[in-house]
């Protein structure tokens, strides 16, 4: 019952059934009303003819004597049509019969028995004299003045000559009942055929409707799972087609906005990364700066102490760097710093950290590195710097570098290791420069 398609079919079927029930209820009432109206018209026409003949033959109308004479003629006519003898065994007196009964002329009673005889009427003239009685009035009586309000006028030559009021119920003739029954059967089978034709159409239309809605639901569910770019086919120009078109337009705008947002986010992320790099990198050499080095080495030193891993800190200083600036230029000095930084970066492992500690001084952190491995690594770096073609930067330029290594991660923080490494660097400087000095190992290049 939760299916839209099922609800759609049930609503349409209920509407069709309700329409058929309404037609079945109203049709007999309307048909019977139409039968009654036509029967009244037929009777009123006969009444008008009978009164007209009476007026033409007697040249009188509207008196009590006319009413009694017309009522007697109507009674004799009914008895003659039904084959009954006169009620008193005598023919109608000549002074009452007048000139009405002529060969070929219908008696007033015949008008009440010929054709549709199932209706009863109270017929009275314009003075209220009853011409034809019913269950409430008899000929010769006068009707209540209020009866004129509900009476139907009967005219003769455009003048109202009498009034008629149906008396009692209006039974249908067998012919009428047969016609009504046939019509009811026709309506029933027509409604049944209409339902049988409507059901496949309803199922087909509901399948189209539900299919289009299911495509929209599927697209929305995919969007909810992250597949933002969705388009549904537009198969009609009705409300569902308009909805599909609006969804496609909305989805295109959403995807475009999302792509722009992603581009903005990526740009912000790149800018944030650039800002972070600027905040942790030395502008000239591209090495990490001292602040970043201190943050990282604090963690590396603590881990080495906690887990008992080997850890070395190295301080390096370019020999006679002040003379390079003085004898060549500060530009040459900057090139020397950048070249040395590049050599250091390409000579260490990805797990190692190298930073510009200040001026021409560089510092390295070598986690999980034994004293001998640290000394070998720095010796290779020293040799690479010494053998670099410095004359490409400036003719006669010679660059060497001294290193001091602390290979014992002791103390509460790494500052102690920096002090020891600085002492070893000082030792290398005073031992002739261009060499590596270690707390555990002392060798000259």
Maximum Cα–Cα distance across the chain: 176
Cβ-based neighbours of 77, under 8 Å, separated by 6 or more = 106, 107, 108, 109, 110, 111, 112, 113
- Number of DSSP helices (H) and strands (E) in the chain, helices first: 12, 9
**CA dist., res. 86 & res. 71, Å (int):** 14
Radius of gyration for the chain, computed over Cα atoms and rounded to the nearest angstrom: 62
Inter-helix orientation angle 174-224/4-58, to 10° = 150
Q: What six digits make up the tokens of 40?
A: 């009244």
Buried b (16+ CB within 10 A) or exposed e, 382-403: beebeebebeebbeebebbbbb
CB of 422 within 8 A of CB of 361? no
Is 360 among the residues known to form the active site?
yes
- Please tell me the distance from the alpha carbon of residue 321 to that of residue 359, in angstroms, as a whole number: 9
d(CA 260, CA 241): 29
72, 120, 335, 360: which is the annotated catalytic residue?
360
Measured CA to CA, the distance from residue 287 to residue 63 in angstroms comes to 137
The residues that bridge with 354 in the sheet, in sequence order, are 364
Going by C-alpha positions, the residue among 438, 338, 332, 340 that lies closest to residue 392 is 332
Active site residues: 360
């Amino acid at each position: 019952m939760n299916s839209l398609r099922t609800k759609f079919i049930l609503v349409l079927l209920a509407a069709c059934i309700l329409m058929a029930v309404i037609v079945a209820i109203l049709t007999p009432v309307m048909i019977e009303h139409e039968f009654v109206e036509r029967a009244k018209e037929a009777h009123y026409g006969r009444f008008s003819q009978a009164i007209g003949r009476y007026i033409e033959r007697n040249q009188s109308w509207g008196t009590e004597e006319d009413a009694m004479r017309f009522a007697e003629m109507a009674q004799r006519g009914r008895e003659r049509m039904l084959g009954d003898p006169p009620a008193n065994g005598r023919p109608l007196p000549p002074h009452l019969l007048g000139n009405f009964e002529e060969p070929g002329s219908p008696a007033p009673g015949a008008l009440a028995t010929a054709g549709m005889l199932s209706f009863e009427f109270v017929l009275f003239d314009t003075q209220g004299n009853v011409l034809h009685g019913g269950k409430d009035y008899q000929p010769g009586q006068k009707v209540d003045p209020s009866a004129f309000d509900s009476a139907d006028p009967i005219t003769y030559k455009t003048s109202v000559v009498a009034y008629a009021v149906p008396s009692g119920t209006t039974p249908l003739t067998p012919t009428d009942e047969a016609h009504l029954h046939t019509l009811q059967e026709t309506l029933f089978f027509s409604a049944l055929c209409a339902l049988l034709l409507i059901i496949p159409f309803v199922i087909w239309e509901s399948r189209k409707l539900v299919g289009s809605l299911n495509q929209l639901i599927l697209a929305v569910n995919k969007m909810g799972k992250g597949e933002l770019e969705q388009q549904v086919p537009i198969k009609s120009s009705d409300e569902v087609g308009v909805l599909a078109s609006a969804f496609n337009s909305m989805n295109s705008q959403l995807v475009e906005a999302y792509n722009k947002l992603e581009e903005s986010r990526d740009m912000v992320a790149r800018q944030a990364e650039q800002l972070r790099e600027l905040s942790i990198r030395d502008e000239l050499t591209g090495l990490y700066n001292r602040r970043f080095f201190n943050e990282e080495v604090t963690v590396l030193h603590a881990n080495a102490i906690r887990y008992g891993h080997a850890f070395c800190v190295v301080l390096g200083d370019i020999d006679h760097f002040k003379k390079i600036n003085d004898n060549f230029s500060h530009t040459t000095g900057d090139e020397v710093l950048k070249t040395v930084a590049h050599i250091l970066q390409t000579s260490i492992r990805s797990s190692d950290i190298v930073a510009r500690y200040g001026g021409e001084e560089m510092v390295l952190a070598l986690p999980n590195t034994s004293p001998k491995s640290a000394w070998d690594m720095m010796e290779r770096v020293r040799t690479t710097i010494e053998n670099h073609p410095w004359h490409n930067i400036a003719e006669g330029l010679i660059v060497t570098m001294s290193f001091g290594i602390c290979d014992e991660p002791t103390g509460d923080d790494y500052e102690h290791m920096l002090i020891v490494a600085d002492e070893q660097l000082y030792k290398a400087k005073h031992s002739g420069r261009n060499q590596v000095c270690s707390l555990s190992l002392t060798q000259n290049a």
